Amino acid sequence: MRERIELLLDRSSGFLELSPLAAWGTNFTVGASLVTGIGTICGTECLIFANDPMC
Residues 8 and 2: beta-carbon distance below 8 Å: no
- 3-state SS, one letter per residue, for the chain: CHHHHHHHCCCCCCEEEECCCCCCCCCCCCCCCEEEEEEEECCEEEEEEEECCCC
pLDDT band at 10 (very low <50, low <70, confident <90, very high): very high
Give the number of residues written for the chain.
55
CA dihedral 15, 4, 45, 13 (to 10 degrees): 50
Global pTM reads 0.74
Q: What is the residue extent of each domain of the chain?
A: 2-22+33-51
DSSP-assigned beta bridge partners for residue 17 = 37
At 38 the pLDDT is: 96
At 29 the pLDDT is: 67
pLDDT in tens, 13-50: 999 999 777 777 778 766 667 889 999 999 999 999 98
